[in-house]
Structure 1
C-alpha cells in the first residue's frame, strides 16, 4: 500500500510506525510540506496518517481506504468531504499524560507557584513566615474535582485525582453507562446537571470533544455558577469556553484561576503566535501552555504502535480498531 504521513510529531516515530508488517509498504513522509503539495501526492494513495485535513485534501484523496487521525479529536477532519468508501480511525494513549498535567497545574494554581517563582527570580522572598497578610495555599486532598466529559482523558483524570484523595464527580452524555471496575466516583450525572457540578467543584476540568453542542459550553452564566475559590482547567478545545467571559471572570476574581492548554486558534507557526486575543499572559492566576498536555514519549509511542497495527490489519483484511467512520477491514 502507499501511505502518506503528514503529522510532524508522528514523523519522529518512524521506527514504531514501520514495525509489525508495515515496513513493506511505500511510506511518504510529508510533514511540513505545503498543503498543495500534499494534495498533489494524494492521488492513488491508500492511507493518510494525519492530524488535520483540508477539503481539497479530502477531494484529492478519493482513493483513500483509510484516514488514520493521529489523535482523538476529529474537528480538523472534514468527514463529509471524504469519499464514501474511506474509513476513518482515531487513536488515544494521551489520557495518563493529560491527567498528570491536570494535577500539575491544579497544584501550581493552588500553591501560587507562578507568583512565587517570578518573585524569587527577582530576589523577593515572599513567605507567610514573613508576611502575615499572605494567604496560605491548600492541598488537593479532600477537595472536589468535577470532570466534564468522561472518556479516556476524563477517566484518567479521575484516577489521578482520586489517588490524591480528591472527591470525584462527573457529567457525561450517558450517566448510566458502566464505569471501569477500578473507578469509584462520588457522583455521575447527565449533561443536564452541569450547573450542579460547577457549583459543587473546587476544580473543574473540561475534557469533552468540540462540537456544535459543546462550543461555548462554558460562558458567563456557567462561570458565575463556580465558586470564587474554584479553578477551571481546559484540556479539551479552546472554543468550548467563551474567551471574553473567562477573561472577565479571572480579572474580576469571580473564579480563583485557570489553566489553559488549548486555545481559540491554532497557529501553524509558533513565532509570535498566542492562540488568544485577550491578554491572559498578564494575569498571575493563569497557567498557559501551548497545547502540550498530552505530549509525552509514552503518548506517541503508543499512538504510532496502534496506527502501525491498524495499517497491518487493513492490509490483511482484518477488523480495525477505533473506527469512527466506515467499514474497512470488516
Structure 2
C-alpha cells in the first residue's frame, strides 16, 4: 500500500528532495530533479539511478525458486526466535515509527502488525509477499542510500542482512540507519561475526550430520547453500562490531549471543527431512511437464506447509514445540561470546563528544 505517511517520509534517492504525486499516474515525482518513481505494483520503487557495483545475490531469481517469499506463515523455529528477540530488545508499540532495513518479503512487518507500531519496509529485492504489499508501506531501495528523510524513525531493525555486506557497504548502511533515526533511537540487528565461541563446535557437529543425511538422500541443502553463498561476513569479532558501530554513530547497548546447537538440529536436519518427504510427495502429484522442474516439488511442499501452519493443527503445534526446545540455546549459551548474536545499537541523544 502507499499511505499518506509514506509520502511525507520519502525522499529522492538521487538529490534527496521531497517527492509529490505525479498527477493521475501511478507514480511519484521528485520536486527538484523531476525524476519519476513507479508505484503501480503497490510498493514505491526508489532505487537510485546509479547502481552500486556491489550487489546482493538476493536479486537473482534462483534464490527465490522455492517460492518461500510468496506467502507469510506464522513465525516458527528460527524465525520465531528472531522475532521474539526483536520484541524483547526493541519493544515495538503504538506510537512507534519503525523502519525494517532489508525487509525481504515483508514477513517481520506482518508478524508485528499487532503491536500497533507503524512499520515501513525497505529492500533492494522486489520479492515482496502480496500480504505485505496489501497491508504495509514498502520501498524498493538501497540501504546504502536510504530514500528517507532524516531523523524520522524512533526504531529500526535489520535481520540477517549485515553479513551480506562488505565492510565499506556495512558502514554506509549503518550511517544511513543512524541518519534516519531520531536522537536516542535504537537499531536492533541479528547477524554474526567470524570469530566463534566454544558452543560452535556443537553447531559444526550438527552440520556434519546434515551433510551425511544429504549424502544419504534424506535431505536437500542446495537451496540453503545458495542462499548463504553471498555471505561476506565483514565483522571479525565483537570488538570490531563495537568499533564499526561507534564509527557510524552508535553505541552497543545490549547483546545476546546465539549458538543454535538445538536450533541447527531442528532446522538443518529434522525440518529438512520433513521438507524432503513433502517435496517428493508433492512431485508425484505434479503434471508430467512440471515434474521435470527440480524446484517444483519444493515449491509445492513449501506452499502446502505454509498453508497448514496458517491453519494451526498438528504441524503448527509440533513446530511450536520444537521452537520452545530451540530456546534452550539462548538459555544455555546466551552469555557465551560467539559468532551469531542479537544486539541493540543506540543512537546517542547528542553526538559523541558533544554537549549532553
TM-score range, shorter-chain basis?
0.3 to 0.5
Compute the TM-score of the two structures, normalised by the length of structure 1: 0.40
Compute the TM-score of the two structures, normalised by the length of structure 2: 0.38
The structure with the largest alpha-carbon Rg is 1
